């Protein structure tokens, strides 16, 4: 890094070099991928345009390329970023950027384009890739080649799926100080004291249930994801230089003559790279600058005080190289804080996993959503969970912290059934009589396919426990699949449906204590075709309906034991119908028979004839209207 006192001269040299250049270029190198996803926000306004004070003697000059409209380089998450690979310093044992890195720190794609590029290439945060960028003279660039060199920067990948042993995370929360950006209207330090930050992270919950991230995570995961206070530290305030630049490890002859616009887009020319301006921009260059300053500051604390308990604790956490969580708390008014409430590395496999948070969302008196919700949402992104949708709303599911969680108040809102399954925190129901929380019981009994409906279309009296009472708490039905075996025949267009039961917990800090009353004592229906894998992309859970009193009505009757009929339309949900081919497909009908404070009892039917019973002598209720063969008016 260029010494701070020399920054002004360096940036003038960069500017002079650019004024003499005009060509486009091709950049090829090895970099690390970061797929960034953020928390939902109703409105995030960009900061007002700030005039720079006139330069004075000795004042740092801004790097070229960071001017122009405020936040003109900030994008709406998700972002697919290219940054420098991480290595481990052989002397200190600390992770660091590869000093021989020769790629720019840029956003390769954003929004739907980022998601598509991630899915098509099977990329996780921390993957090492060989990338080629064609950069035009006007500053636009195209990714012409992206080849994975190494899956994950750390052995074992993300280790995001529970496999039988609780994970104990390491967390460093950095409280950032941008006071070097004088005159731009942002609060200098993050508006969060170390004491409040510590309570927010690791308070045990006994004095203020549900008020800490530790309590939130351990409750929703049934203790499968831990946060030991011995593995948590708060560092700050951390002074971060407002502007700066890095020198290449050797001059880049291939960049001599690069156009100013191209250099600005890449933050790179023949002599320097990664220049940043925290007062105006929020690109991977700024994020990387924050990370370097924070890590260096923490390492200096250890160097000054290596033999005390606090010094040894901090050193041990800093040397932990398996997906350490770094939370960077941004000062209010900073460019990044104006862009999103928070953003994090999704499905992180690198030594450090960055989470950037606007400090105004973490204050004790912050408006809804409350502080722990933001942290829980972002930390679940780190574990690989995507947003939980509803219809066309990307994060519109109010039954999941990965969806819309503004109504959760001071309670806890745990993930929905598909997301709980995705990271191994919950599974399908076991056979009746199996005790809860049994690792040897796989839950396969409640994972239903076409093979479960060969002799009778109805399976009646299935019990779905309330999600917070035990870990086997969902039924999954996919009548388009032949079986649950890997590689089993599956009909084109087949859809898996997840049925779970949610209860609003009245105990402060209890599981689902933040669930809104709309979903209290409701069987909830989700669609999700993903599997329990860290390397299968492109699937997101979507909330479809909830009942009794489902939003979408399905006309149905039910035959009582005495032979009489009753209308169960309000208690019935029916899926779209998939044409039956080679014995696979059809539809799914769910009838809620009863609900209580601990469980729901449901009947599930596979529809093989849509809308009308055509087979009137097979002894099967083919249209799942509760009447079979000659009992059905369709056959009379």
Question: Residue 326's closest CA among 344, 303, 300?
Answer: 344
Alpha carbon distance 267, 285 (integer Å): 8
Indicate the burial class of 16 (C-beta count within 10 angstroms; 0-12, 13-18, 19 or more): exposed
Secondary structure of residue 460 in the 3-state scheme: strand
Three-state SS for 290?
A: helix
DSSP letter (8 states) at residue 332 = T
Distance CA 133, CA 140 (A): 10
Distances (CA, A) of 237 to 191, 195, 259: 10, 12, 38
Distance CA 311, CA 313 (A): 5
- Rounded to the nearest angstrom, the gap between the alpha carbon of residue 125 and the centroid of all alpha carbons in its chain is 11
Q: DSSP letter for 322, please.
A: S
Q: Where are the beta strands (DSSP E) in 115-248?
A: 128-135, 141-150, 167-168, 171-177, 225-226, 232-239, 243-247
Handedness of CA 555, 560, 563, 565 (dihedral sign): negative
Give the angle subtended at the CA of 376 by the CAs of 358 and 212, to the nearest 5°: 90
Q: Which of 134, 166, 129, 130 is nearest to 34 (CA)?
A: 129
Answer yes or no: are the C-beta atoms of 332 and 186 closer than 8 Å: yes
The torsion angle over the Cα atoms of residues 389, 392, 393 and 394, rounded to 10 degrees, is 60
Beta bridge mates, 36:
79, 345
Is 42 annotated in the active site?
no
- Among the listed residues 378, 534, 609, 613, the single catalytic one is 378
Residue 589 tokens read as: 């009908």
Question: DSSP letter at 327?
Answer: E
Three-state secondary structure string covering 492-550: CCCCCEEEEEECCCCCCCCCCCCCCHHHCCEEEEEECCCCCCCCCCCCCCEEEEEECCC
From residue 28, how far is each of 90, 135, 371 by CA, in Å? 27, 11, 42
* Residue 463 bridge partners (DSSP): 601
The closest of 362, 393, 364 to 42, measured between CA atoms, is: 393
- Say if CB 379 and CB 353 are below 8 A apart: no
- The number of residues in the chain equals 636
Q: Is 259 helix (H, G, I), strand (E, B) or coil?
A: coil
458-465 and 599-607 strand pairing: antiparallel
Instruction: Please choose, from the candidates 369, 335, 331, the residue with its C-alpha nearest in 3D space to the C-alpha of residue 42.
Output: 369
Close Cβ partners of 626 (under 8 Å, ≥ 6 residues apart): 556, 557, 558, 559, 565, 568
Q: Which residues contact 366 (CB under 8 A, 6 or more apart)?
A: 360
How far is it, in rounded angstroms, from Cα 441 to Cα 429?
A: 9
CA separation (Å) from 83 to 104, 250, 489, 493? 7, 18, 41, 38
Residues with a catalytic annotation lie at 378
């Amino acid at each position: 890094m260029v010494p701070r006192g020399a920054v002004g001269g360096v940036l003038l040299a960069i500017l002079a070099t650019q004024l003499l250049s005009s060509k486009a270029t091709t950049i090829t190198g090895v970099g690390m991928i970061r797929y960034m996803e953020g928390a939902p926000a109703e409105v995030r306004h960009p900061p007002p345009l700030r005039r720079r004070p006139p330069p004075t003697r000795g004042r740092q000059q801004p790097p070229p390329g960071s001017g122009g409209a405020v936040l003109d380089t900030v994008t709406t998450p998700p972002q697919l970023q290219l940054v420098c690979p991480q290595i481990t310093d052989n002397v200190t044992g600390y992770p660091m950027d590869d000093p021989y890195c020769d790629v720019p720190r840029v956003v390769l794609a954003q929004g739907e384009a980022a998601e598509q590029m991630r899915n098509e290439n099977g990329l996780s945060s921390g993957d090492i890739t060989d990338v080629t960028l064609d950069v035009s003279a006007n500053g636009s660039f195209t990714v012409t080649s992206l080849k994975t060199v190494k899956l994950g920067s750390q052995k074992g990948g993300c280790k995001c799926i529970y496999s039988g042993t609780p994970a104990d995370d390491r967390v460093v929360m950095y409280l950032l100080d941008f006071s070097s950006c004088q005159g731009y209207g942002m609060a200098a330090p993050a508006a969060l004291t170390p004491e409040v930050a510590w309570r927010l992270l690791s308070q045990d919950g006994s004095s203020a249930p549900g008020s800490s991230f530790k309590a939130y995570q351990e409750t929703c995961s049934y203790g499968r994801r831990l946060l030991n206070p011995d593995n948590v530290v708060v560092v700050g305030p951390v002074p971060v230089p407002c502007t700066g630049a890095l020198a290449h490890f050797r001059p880049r002859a291939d960049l001599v003559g690069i156009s100013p616009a191209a250099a600005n887009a890449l933050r790179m020319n023949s002599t320097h790279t990664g220049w940043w301006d925290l007062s105006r921009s929020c690109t991977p260059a700024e994020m990387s600058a924050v990370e370097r300053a924070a890590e260096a500051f923490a390492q200096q604390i250890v160097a000054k005080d290596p033999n005390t308990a606090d010094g040894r604790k901090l050193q041990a956490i800093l040397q932990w190289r398996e997906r350490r969580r770094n939370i960077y708390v941004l000062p209010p008014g900073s460019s990044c804080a104006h862009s999103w409430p928070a953003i994090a590395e999704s499905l992180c496999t690198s030594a450090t996993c960055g989470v950037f948070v606007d400090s105004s969302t973490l204050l004790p008196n912050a408006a809804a959503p409350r502080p722990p919700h933001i942290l829980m949402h972002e930390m679940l992104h780190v574990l690989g969970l995507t947003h939980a949708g509803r219809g066309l709303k990307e994060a519109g599911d109010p039954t999941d912290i990965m969806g819309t969680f503004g109504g959760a108040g001071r309670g806890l809102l745990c993930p929905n059934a598909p997301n709980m399954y995705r990271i191994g925190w919950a599974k399908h129901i076991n056979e009746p009589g199996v005790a809860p929380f049994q690792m040897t019981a796989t839950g396969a009994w409640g994972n239903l396919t076409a093979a479960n409906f060969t002799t009778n279309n109805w399976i009646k009296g299935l019990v779905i426990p309330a999600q917070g009472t035990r870990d086997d708490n969902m039924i999954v039905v996919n009548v388009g699949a032949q079986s649950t075996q890997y590689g089993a025949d599956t009909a084109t267009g087949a859809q898996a449906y997840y049925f779970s039961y949610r209860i609003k917990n009245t105990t402060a800090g209890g599981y689902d204590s933040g669930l809104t009353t709309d979903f209290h004592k409701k069987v909830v229906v989700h669609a999700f075709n993903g599997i329990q894998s860290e390397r299968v992309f492109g699937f997101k859970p979507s909330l479809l309906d909830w009942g009794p009193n489902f939003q979408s009505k399905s006309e149905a009757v039910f035959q009582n034991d005495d032979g009489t009929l009753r209308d169960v339309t309000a208690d019935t949900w029916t899926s779209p119908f998939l044409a039956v081919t080679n014995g696979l497909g059809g539809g799914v009908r769910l009838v809620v028979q009863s609900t209580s404070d601990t469980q729901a009892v449901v009947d599930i039917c596979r529809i093989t004839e849509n809308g009308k019973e055509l087979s009137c002598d097979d002894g099967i209720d083919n249209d799942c209207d509760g009447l079979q063969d000659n009992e059905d008016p369709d056959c009379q």
